[in-house]
């Protein structure tokens, strides 16, 4: 192989390695931001009995996991929670907490093992919906 061919091959290899490193660093930064966002989720402790009757939409996004829900409250009872959108990696099993919320009449239920982050995002989306129906003052 000629020197110019070897030089070109080395340049291409260097470019590929540099590109891979840049994308790797960007991915690791996104992953770090996601983990921090999940760790910073905090809940207000809403009592459903304090929420006015109505249907409310709430959402929450931590980067790799996003949820949008529609929540219906009537007479201080959590009648239904519908998942409008749930983007997740392997967190689909977390969607079972919606049924648990209506059974226990609470937003704050145990997370699903193996889908903890998705569970927390779904809970926060439901809480964000309910906040809209709180009596002011």
For residue 8, being part of any structural domain is answered with: no
Q: What CA–CA distance (Å, rounded) separates 121 from 59?
A: 8
For residue 99, being part of any structural domain is answered with: yes
- What Å distances lie between residue 60 and 1, 70, 94, CA to CA? 57, 12, 14
For residue 37, being part of any structural domain is answered with: no
Q: pLDDT tens-digit profile of 120-129?
A: 999 999 999 9
CATH number at residue 90: 3.90.1010.20
CB atoms within 10 A of CB 115: 22
For residue 123, being part of any structural domain is answered with: yes
**What domain range includes position 108?**
48-131
For residue 120, being part of any structural domain is answered with: yes
Q: Where are the beta strands (DSSP E) in 6-127?
A: 54-61, 66-74, 77-87
Q: What CA–CA distance (Å, rounded) separates 52 from 60?
A: 21
> pLDDT digit of tens for each residue in the chain (137 aa)?
577 778 888 888 888 888 888 888 888 877 787 888 888 999 988 999 999 999 999 999 998 899 999 999 999 999 999 999 999 877 789 999 999 999 999 999 999 988 899 999 999 999 999 999 986 54
> Domain tally for the chain?
1
């Amino acid at each position: 192989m000629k020197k110019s061919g070897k030089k070109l091959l080395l340049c291409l290899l260097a470019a590929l390695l540099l590109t891979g490193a840049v994308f790797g660093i960007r991915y690791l930064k996104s992953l770090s931001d996601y983990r921090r966002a999940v760790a910073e989720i905090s809940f207000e402790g809403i009592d459903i009995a304090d929420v006015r009757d109505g249907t409310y939409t709430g959402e929450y996004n931590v980067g790799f996991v996003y949820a949008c829900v529609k929540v219906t409250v009537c007479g201080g009872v959590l009648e239904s929670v519908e998942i409008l959108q749930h983007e997740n990696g392997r967190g689909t099993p977390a969607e079972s907490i919606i049924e648990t919320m209506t059974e226990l009449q609470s937003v704050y239920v145990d997370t699903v093992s193996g889908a903890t982050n998705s569970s927390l995002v779904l809970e926060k989306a439901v809480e964000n919906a309910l906040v809209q129906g709180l009596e002011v003052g």
